[in-house]
Amino acid sequence: MKWLKVVLVLTFLVLMPIQAYAAPSKGKTLPEVKYEPGKRQTNSPLNNQPKVTPGPDIPGKDKFDIWSNLEVQVIDGRTKQPLRNADVVLAETGYRTVTDDRGFTKPFPAPVIRDPRFEAPLGRLHGQLTLIAYKDGYRDTVYFNVRMRQNMMTRVQMWMLQITPEDRRMEAYVYFYPTHHIFVDQLVHKFRTKDQQGAKTEELD
């Protein structure tokens, strides 16, 4: 009889969660959430950063209107160790700086150059820049479309690949920053018609 009681208790414990989960709730539906393009709050701390004004040593100080601070770290792409004395050049202005023992440049003013191909606010979400890194024994490295935001610090980590005896072509290592997801959402939302199915798949029902 003892073993029969044990079997009954175990059976009850095993079936209890199944019964609990098997009973669906009735009459309750999730609230409808309509798709809206992302917007930054006006009271966001990102909007409260001090205005950046380039000094006389910054190329292009009179060419661009909006500036933010940019800091770059350069690391070995295989060992992930910081690279000292790597030259970093901002292609749009020609500004050149060098990394310290931790692989970092000092923060420096960089322009927020927004894409003029799109009308506001699509073309004004963020700016895009091009960074180039040089170091003896490493392949030249180019980072395209580095995103720059107004009123906030941008930090970029660049990977450099060491030249090995197996390398036959010394072409530069190139990386393209992906387009920001908020920009993509705004872009497809702007030109989508109401009867296109994409609107249904992107709404959070």
28 part of a folded domain? no
In a domain, 33, yes or no: no
Asked, for residue 25, whether it belongs to a domain, the answer is: no
What CATH number should be reported for the domain holding residue 107? 2.60.40.1120
* pLDDT recorded at residue 94: 95
pTM, entire model: 0.70
Supply the pLDDT for residue 67: 94
Tell whether 140 is covered by a domain.
Answer: yes
Is residue 121 assigned to a domain?
Answer: yes
What pLDDT score was predicted for residue 5?
A: 62
Q: What is the full per-residue pLDDT of the chain (205 aa) written as tens digits? A: 556 665 566 665 555 554 444 454 555 555 554 444 444 444 455 555 678 889 988 998 899 999 999 999 999 999 999 999 999 999 999 999 999 999 999 999 999 998 888 887 777 778 999 999 999 999 999 999 999 988 888 999 999 999 988 877 778 999 999 888 888 888 888 888 877 766 555 554 4
Q: Does 205 reside within a domain? A: no
139 burial (CB, 10 Å; 0-12 / 13-18 / 19+) is: buried
Quote the pLDDT of residue 7.
Answer: 57
Is residue 12 included in any domain, yes or no? no
Instruction: Tell me what pLDDT residue 92 has.
Output: 96
Please tell me the total count of domains within the chain: 1
Pull the structure tokens for residue 111: 């322009």
Nearest residue to 39 (alpha-carbon basis) of 118, 155, 125: 125
- Could you list the residue range(s) of the whole structural domain that residue 132 is in? 45-178
Half-sphere exposure of 30 (CA within 13 A, CB side): 5
Task: Please check whether residue 158 lies inside any domain of the structure.
Answer: yes
Name the E strands within the chain.
Answer: 67-76, 87-90, 95-98, 108-111, 127-134, 141-148, 154-160, 173-176
- pLDDT at position 18 is 47
